[in-house]
Structure formats: C-alpha cells, structure tokens
Amino acid sequence: MTLAPLDHAERWRHKLRNQVQTWLLVGGSLGLLVLCAWIFAGVDGIIAAVAGGAVVLAVSLRAAPWMVLRLYRARPLRPEEFPEGFRLLEELALRADLPTMPRLYYVPSRMMNAFAVGNAAQSAICVTDGLVRGLTLRQFAGVLAHEVSHIRNGDIRVMAIADTVSRLTGAMSTVGVLLLFVNLPFFLANGAPVPWLGIALLLAAPTIGAILQLALSRAREYDADLDAVGLTGDPEGLAAALATLERRQGRMWEMMLPGQRIPDPSLLRSHPRTEDRIARLLSLRPGARPYVVAPDHRPRRPIASVPIVHGPRFHTMGVWY
C-alpha cells in the first residue's frame, strides 16, 4: 500500500508551538519559585532556593532513574529473548543519533506501559509484559520511537528540573505561610499592615506550580509524538498504539513514573487526551486512518522466559506495577 508523504510543514508548526509552550512554562515555574523565595526571605531566600535546587537536582538526576527501575522490579532483557524489539530499538537509536543505544528493560506486569529513564549518554527504556504482548510490532515501534524521542530531547532532565522547582516552591510556601502567621500577632499589635497579598500568593503557589508542571508534561508528550513520527515516518503506527492502549485500559497507562495521577479535568492531566494526540498525529498525513491497514503481526516469541506476572502493589506513595 502506498501512503501519502508526511506533511512536514504541519509537523514543524506543532513543534514550534510546543517549544514556545515549554519555555513559557519553565520560565513561569522559575519565576514563581523566585517570587516565593523573595517573599520568604528576600535576596537570601532566592540564593538559598538556587543552591538547594542545584543540590537536589544533582542528586535526583544521578540516583532517581535507577531507583525507579528497582522499584518497578525491572530486569534487563537479552537480545535473544526479544530479537525483534532489539532490532527496532537499535534502528531508532541510530536514526535519533544517540551516542549509545538505550538498554531495554522488562517489567512483569499486565499493565500496558513504557517509560524512559536516564540521559542520551546512559539511558534505559522499560516496557511491560502487557505492552509487548498486546501491540503489533508496528505499534510497538511507534511507542519505542516516542520513548527514544524523550531521551534525545532531554525530557527526563526537563521534568526533573520542573519537579525540583515545584517541590522547592511548595517548601518555600509552607515555611513562609507558617512564619507569616506566627508573626501575625506582631503585625496586629503594632498596627503594621498585614501582607495579605503575600500570604495569598504563598498559599496558592503550590497549586499553581503543580498545574504548570502538568502543562509542561503535556507539552513534552506532544513533542515526543511528533519526533517519534520523524523517526519512523509512520504516524498511523503510533496513533494505532495510542488507540489500542486507550481501548484496552483507558487512562491508567498514562504514567511515566510510579504513582497515581488525576485524569480529569484536562488541566490536571499529566498527558494530553488520547484523541487529541491521535488527531495531531493524523494531521501529519491528511486522510490517514487511526488503525493499521498494512499487514502487521505481534512478536513471534515475545520474552521467552516470563516470570509470574503480578498485579499492582499499593504503597503510601501510590500504585506501583
């Protein structure tokens, strides 16, 4: 079957909009942190926030990715266990011009999910048993390309920075509000004006920071979709994978990291709505359909040695698979 060429102009229009949104959201998050730090302790607060953020970020970037793999009970796959998957990943890594091929990890879970950790020099892509068995190779290639794009674009680092900024904003807000209320009798006794505007801002800052972080996550997901199509030249494959994931398990698969998320309203989603993602993908080739029409098949021998597939485990920090 002959397919129409991709509309690269449409792809770059979407990508430019995503990049502008990313910079605005990152700038907004940093501005909110600086404002909270200034209300909390003036210039000294800003210096403390920058220094503390640098330390937290350095530690999290080194330790967090591999901790995630251990918490998921992920194990590295061998090429002989999943040769088709390794061939796809090797080709995608070459097309993405990554310095090293990401390691492929396997999670014995019925959930259909995939996520990436690390950076371009040292990274890993984790796939669940449900994903490997539930998608065709064409669909699986689209999902792999999406995760490879996250690695190439440095999205793991961007989201780590956003998470650090959000946590620092929350900490500054909590301490600042406590100090302001402790000093409230002093303001009232001396007739000094109570800084209600500062109190209101500190109270609202954690919520605003979380909303900005979620919006940033949605922008990076859109961008990874577009770059995945640039690697595969096949928007229909990724669109079909997204449709399958939505049909099989609804929104539960939209978790890049362990824990729960709030799917509605759209302002509180970590991922864009699946129908919106599919619409953007199919706009890259006008007239395309969201389901695979070319011959396709599932892996012939997916993961030869499969351990017992377990369900979700509940912890105080959320649901882990």
Question: Known catalytic residues?
Answer: 147
Burial environment of residue 234 by CB neighbours within 10 A (0 to 12, 13 to 18, 19 or more)? buried
Instruction: Please state, in angstroms and as integers, the Cα–Cα distance from residue 293 to each residue in 59, 136, 146, 236, following that order.
Output: 47, 12, 21, 9
| 143 within 8 A of 162, measured Cβ to Cβ | no
Query: Nearest CA to 320 among 103, 104, 107, 60?
Result: 107
